[in-house]
Amino acid sequence: MSKQARVEEIQYLRGFAFLAVVLQHAIGHYAYLPETGLDNGAVLGLLLIAAKFAVPIFIFITGFVLFYNYKDRVPFVPFIRKRFKDIVLPYLIWSSLYAIFFGDLGAEWRDIGKRILLDWVTGKASYHLWYVVMSIQLYLLFPLLQRGVLWIWERNKPWMLRGGFILLCLAYIGLTMKIGDISTSAEGWHIPIVTPLFTEYADRNALYFLLYFIMGAAAGLNIQFWKPWMMKTRMVWLSLYLLCSLVLFYKIVHSFPTGNGYVIQYNATLLLQPFMVVFLLLSVIAMCIMAVWLQEGTSDALRRLFHYLGKHSYGAYLAHALMLTFATGAADYMLPGGNISIRTAAAFLLCAFLSVLTAVVLSKLPIGRWLVGAPAPRKKIA
């Protein structure tokens, strides 16, 4: 792997995505409380739309970084060893922690061991760990995917590649229309690992998120073209993103009324839906534009802030579900009976702060890499 120049915007995108994840989960805590009315439901819907880019951006970043840094054939064992240290090991530790303190493990040690092992494989120890299980699949597939993508990349002209990506997007939209049918068919396969990936655990099947990874790969392989093209056409993409956001907001609010009153629900924002594919693709481009604007802007403080958030985003992501428990409790204590939207915002800010603080503190330990994926601090040479 040749050493590439750092793309600072990637750290900003990590910071954006981390904050968006925390906001989504803060919304998830408060949106369905009995006291949440239509007004707060609509406000939280707007915030949810603004934060929904988190998962595709994280996947985009993974594809971008891997294809940007690995131009030659990937040595499988060293590659997987590094990802195990930086990604898998911290995940296993945090998954065990969530399983022990928040799971129903049973009384027998044998049952506890089986439950923790199952949680490792499925990501069910906590609601946010599904993403890590899905991303691990992408890392395992990367050496093979890299060969295929580079083979196509080197043998086709740019216009053919652009046309191929458009066709891939259309095929992916078609795939999301058939996920239910695929799940029904897969129930009769009875193939270990494969059947669960298309049924019970379809929401963490890497195949269903591969488009955003390929999008990141295309940007990482051709960043010299990607940034100028994106910024030259930015008003088109931002306008389309805004338009789709308004349509999505309408769909959310339109889903509230029922025959027996109203129900606050956000099913229209579930990721694996045709319209959401279009929205999420546009959101990735919109956030990339925001990151470039941040890099080219004049606010050093904002750049430092989002660089810092991005640097500690993985450890903070692993910790944030635990921190949200404290944050929501603190928000409710400080604002008893307060407005739901304000309590959501307070819990979001407090959770983000506590999560990053936890990641920073743990990264300073000699075993920091085991806990948050950060290298241990170097010892000073006397």
3-class DSSP assignment, residue 35 = coil
Torsion of CA 254, 257, 262, 265, to 10 degrees: -30
State the angle between helix axes of 210-221 and 54-69 in degrees (0 to 180), rounded to the nearest 10: 40
Mean pLDDT over the full length of the chain = 92
Please give the pLDDT value at position 271. 95
Q: What is the pLDDT of residues 117-150, one digit of tens each?
A: 999 999 999 999 999 999 999 999 999 999 999 9
Closest of 290, 212, 252 to residue 49, by C-alpha: 252
Q: Which two tokens stand for residue 357?
A: 């603080």
* Beta carbons within 8 Å of 82's beta carbon, 6+ residues apart: none
In a domain, 377, yes or no: no
In a domain, 63, yes or no: yes
Please give the pLDDT value at position 206. 96
Mean pLDDT of 217-243: 95
* Beta carbons within 8 Å of 243's beta carbon, 6+ residues apart: none
C-alpha separations of 63 from 47, 67, 106 in Å = 27, 6, 39
CA pair distance 283, 375, nearest whole angstrom: 32
CA pair distance 344, 333, nearest whole angstrom: 13
* Beta carbons within 8 Å of 309's beta carbon, 6+ residues apart: 14, 15, 18, 19, 316, 356
CA end-to-end span of the chain: 33
Asked if the model's pLDDT at residue 106 lies above 70, the reply is: no
Mean pLDDT of 306-320: 96
Please give the pLDDT value at position 113. 82
Mean pLDDT of 277-286: 98
In a domain, 339, yes or no: yes
Mean pLDDT of 58-82: 93
Mean pLDDT of 60-89: 93
* Beta carbons within 8 Å of 260's beta carbon, 6+ residues apart: none
In a domain, 382, yes or no: no
C-alpha separations of 207 from 168, 203, 214, 344 in Å = 13, 10, 11, 33
Show the domain range for 84.
8-372
In a domain, 172, yes or no: yes
8 A C-beta contact, residue 215 and residue 226: no
258 bridge partner residues: 261
Q: What are phi and psi of 271, to 5 degrees?
A: -65, -40
8 A C-beta contact, residue 341 and residue 322: no
Instruction: Report residue 369's pLDDT band, with 50, 70 and 90 as the boundaries.
Output: confident
Kindly report the number of other CB atoms within 10 A of residue 280's CB atom.
24
8 A C-beta contact, residue 27 and residue 44: yes
In a domain, 266, yes or no: yes
Instruction: Report residue 109's pLDDT band, with 50, 70 and 90 as the boundaries.
Output: low
| Sequence-ordered alpha helix ranges (H) in the chain | 8-30, 38-51, 54-69, 76-83, 89-102, 109-122, 130-155, 158-177, 179-186, 194-198, 210-221, 223-232, 234-255, 274-296, 300-311, 313-334, 340-363, 368-372
In a domain, 378, yes or no: no
In a domain, 318, yes or no: yes
Please give the pLDDT value at position 1. 56
3-state SS, one letter per residue, for 281-306? HHHHHHHHHHHHHHHHCCCHHHHHHH
Counted domains in the chain: 1
Please give the pLDDT value at position 112. 78
